[in-house]
Amino acid sequence: MITFRPAKRENTPLIIGIAGPTKSGKTYSALRLATGLAGGGPIAMLNAEGARGHQYADTFKYIACELEAPFRPDQYTDALDAVAKLSPPPAVVIIDSASHMHDGPGGILEWHEEILDKMAGQDYAKRQRSTFTAWVQPKQSENIFIYQMLSMQIPVILCLRAKEKIKIVKGQEPVDLGWQPIVGERVAFETMFTLMLPPHAKGVPDLNLSDMRSPFDTLIKPGQAIDESLGQALSTWAKGGTTDRLPAASLSGPVASPGATSGGGTGGTPTDPPSELEILCHDFKERFDEVQTVAEGKGWSERWEEAKVKQKIPPAFAAPVEAARNAARARLKRG
């Protein structure tokens, strides 16, 4: 039986990103934040940083498991599942770092290249045709990780490496986007907020580069380091309380979305993994390119119309599919 009740915020799981380049203070800040969130409870860490993940073991108390290459999403998913089954259960889990899953050895980008090598070898034209198909398995694996992360009943802190990124605009000077997290766009999207630490920040985030939303944008004053009090305030909010315990702060200047920074791709050119909608549209386009009979074309056309409505596919993504469908209709009519 379906029932309704007044909505109430309580025991809200938090997913928090802390991003920055080397020596910006990510790990130390994550442990300070986790200490405040945990309220004396156990802290767990999924450590992909090797010995560096334990450099603060004398300062903070936590348990850890070691993640090693290849850094497939499956390994992160299994580790989170193991955290959920620990007894006593941890109060917080830190993933340090989630960037390894994206561009580390055997991560999503390298995995895509491995699949592409098996599918097309060094045939450049075939690699171009196969690149979207080669994303299917890595993106599915990343999706399973995301849903495991969303199912966690404790706060999750994602430590993310970062690099400076520029946007190429045809006919204009490159646009400096500043420091951006190295992570898949879907993973970045799932954080409640992501704090960006510039080089040598000592745990003080740049709020102009951080991806914030209400009410979390009132928790941190400019120049304030990530610390235990922030964790305590977030814990209070997650349990249904307010964020009044810390002075409100206003963000100055535009706030940039963290975006995803990636490397790899065919021929060594940096490429971002396509979104799931891009993969879906590419698959439909291939179907229309290869359709052999009117009945087959009609069947795929019906599926495409259903997908357009259900997935709310934007016109820019739909246009190549529509062109392929029209070409298929003309081809079949002639033949």
pLDDT in tens, 91-117: 999 999 999 999 999 999 999 999 999
Give the pLDDT of residue 144.
Answer: 97
Q: What is the mean pLDDT of residues 249-261?
A: 34
Whole-number pLDDT of residue 177: 80
Q: Are 18 and 211 in contact (CB under 8 A)?
A: no
What does the domain layout of the chain look like in residue ranges?
A: 15-238, 276-334
The residue ranking higher by pLDDT, 166 or 3, is 3
- Looking at residue 168, its pLDDT comes to 77
Amino acid at 28: Y
* Segment among 6-20, 78-92, 150-164 with least mean pLDDT: 6-20
Q: Average the pLDDT over 265-293 and give the result.
A: 67
Q: What is the value of pTM for the model shown?
A: 0.74
- Judge whether residue 254 has pLDDT over 50: no
Looking at residue 259, what is its pLDDT? 40
128-142, 174-188, 240-254, 296-310: which has the minimum mean pLDDT? Answer: 240-254
Burial of 186 (0-12, 13-18, 19+ CB in 10 A): middle
**Which amino acid, 276?**
E
Architecture of domain 15-238 in this structure: 3-Layer(aba) Sandwich (3.40)
Task: Give the residue-averaged pLDDT of 266-283.
Answer: 61
User: What pLDDT is stored for residue 243 in this prediction?
Assistant: 61
Whether omega for the bond prior to residue 70 falls within 30 degrees of 0, making it cis, is: yes
Average pLDDT (288-292) is 78
Query: How far is the C-alpha of 2 from the C-alpha of 301, rounded, in Å?
Result: 36
Q: Which helix (H) or strand (E) holds 184?
A: none
Quote the tokens at residue 248: 């409100």
The helix, strand and coil proportions of the chain, stated in percent and rounded to the nearest 5, come to 45, 15, 40
Inter-residue contact 33 to 18 (CB < 8 Å): yes
Comparing CA positions, the residue from 84, 78, 77, 42 lying closest to residue 63 is 42
Distance CA 130, CA 269 (A): 16
| Residues contacting 101, CB < 8 A, separation 6+ | 48, 71, 72, 73, 76, 107, 108, 142, 145, 184, 187
Residues 6+ apart with CB under 8 A from 122: none
pLDDT (0 to 100) of residue 292 = 78
- Tell me the pLDDT band of 258, cut-offs 50, 70 and 90: very low
> How confident is the prediction for the chain on average, in pLDDT?
85
248 against 133, higher pLDDT: 133
pLDDT in tens, 25-44: 999 999 999 999 999 999 99
Q: What is the pLDDT of residues 58-87, one digit of tens each?
A: 999 999 999 999 999 999 999 999 999 999
Q: Is the pLDDT of residue 256 over 60?
A: no
DSSP states of 242-291: -STTS------SPPPP--------GGG---PPPPHHHHHHHHHHHHHHH-
Give the model's pLDDT for residue 245. 43
Residue 49, pLDDT above cutoff 50: yes
How far is Cα of residue 257 from the mean position of the Cα atoms in its chain?
12
State percent of the chain over pLDDT 70: 90
Residue 283 has pLDDT above 90, yes or no: no
**C-beta of residue 152 within 8 angstroms of C-beta of residue 92:** no
Tell me the mean pLDDT in the region 284-300: 80
